[in-house]
Amino acid sequence: MNVLKQCAKGWGRRLAALGLCGVIGLPMVLGGVPARAEGARQVPASAAEVKLSFAPLVKSVAPAVVNVYASRKVVQQRRVSPFFNDPFFQRFFGDMAPGLGQGMGRPQERVESSLGSGVIISEDGTVITNYHVIENADEVRVALADRREFDAEIVLKDERTDLAVLRIQGKGPFASVPFAEPDSLEVGDIVLAIGNPFGVGQTVTQGIVSALARTQVGVTDYQFFIQTDAAINPGNSGGALVDMEGRLVGINSAIYSRSGGSNGIGFAIPAQMAQFVASAAGHGDRIKRPWLGASVQLVSAEISEALGLDRPRGVIVTKVFPGSPAADAGLEVSDLIVAVDGKEVTDPNSFGYRFATKALGSSASFTVLRGGKETDVKIAMSPAPETPARDARTIKGYSPFAGATVMNLSPAVSEELRVPEAYDGVVISAIEPGSTADRVGLKVGDIIRAVNEVAVPTSADLEDVASRRPRLWALDIERGGKINRIVLRG
């Protein structure tokens, strides 16, 4: 039952005192408490109002918050004497040698499990949770507030946003929580956090929005967090942060803690990002994001002073790639981007969030300062092209690259592997643990520029070079924008 229906069915006095009925514009005065004007925020005006309860709101939202149980099978190799692999021992002792251990060195299987929370966002059983809750899971189950349990399918998981989409394998309709309007939240607003902390069962905590647009948390690529003092603890991950209208404003994700418990500093991913990820579910196993084709950097105090600004703000364009949406729209190096669709940007993280949550096929309006004058630049939201084709190849043999999977760089691959400002060459996309490539220190995201002074522009070229057996290997590897040389014996 939503808040509007709750107000109409007699909860008006309690909810109006909390600003609920008035916020949604019900023209009523109940129990002597005047209705609030639309959009008004008001602190309790009397001791009676302070004593009122959040219970009606919780009853509306809690059925849509679920417990998420994720499990995976892990194979471990028993450490036993190498003699046990000798045919003589195998002949007489087989797999059950008393006093010598069971399994005779064969792999053992155990199950690892993790516990978190999730939020049902549609009646068909679509659930949003954190990526780190179901990372590497083989099986996922969800338990509803009414104690029903269902298997769940992993529809999409995205490490970059720390979000995942599940679908309940059961017959609906299921209770769900609507998304709040983007940027409707304000510092000081009351919020409720609902989840399953420490596995004790569904728990509700209350607090306020302590800050918005936190960009230095460091747990996802897109840092733009809601900070709240509502208690968030381990197990709350993936749970709901809701406003006083019963709308989803965030997905609880992280805490700042020295002890492992809540210290009053919790962080939630804004609902706008969760909505963007949910909309991508069912369209492949990777999220296609808008491609700008430009690099930006923070405006420091020195840069701000040189530009004649009253304060540091926005991001400055440092590079524009030919043929990109930025280039097509006329964005230029040294342009200062101060807003996206009228929303101020203060650093590269806030800019990245505003840009990354735009839908493909739409457009974004950048407010740009150029030559001391303000202008608007309209950017088309299109996906990064995969040109040239990635042509992935796993290198075998005896070269330093053995065990590495390499592919041709393109804007799409660069975005996928988080390789900045590099749209050509050969990049390592995966490394087999314990392989030669792993042992020599190569990493995913390394760009191979040359081998023994010979450029390797494609993955096919690298595979050919890696098949040779020189006495020395001289590798020119680009990592983090710098090229380093590694010399190894053949």
Catalytic residue IDs? 132, 162, 237
SS3 category, 455: strand
Burial (CB count <10 Å: 0-12, 13-18, 19+), residue 381 = middle
Rounded-to-integer distance, Cα 206 and Cα 448, Å? 51
Question: Inter-axis angle of helices 271-280 and 348-356, to 10 degrees?
Answer: 40
Could you tell me how many helices (H) and strands (E) the chain has, helices first?
14, 27
Closest C-alpha among 320, 336, 325 to residue 364: 325
Rounded-to-integer distance, Cα 260 and Cα 121, Å? 29
With DSSP H G I counted as helix, E B as strand and the rest as coil, what are the percentages for the chain, rounded to 5?
20, 35, 45
> Element (H or E) spanning 23, and its range?
helix 20-23
Rounded-to-integer distance, Cα 23 and Cα 46, Å? 19
Closest C-alpha among 416, 458, 423, 222 to residue 327: 423
Rounded-to-integer distance, Cα 388 and Cα 407, Å? 10
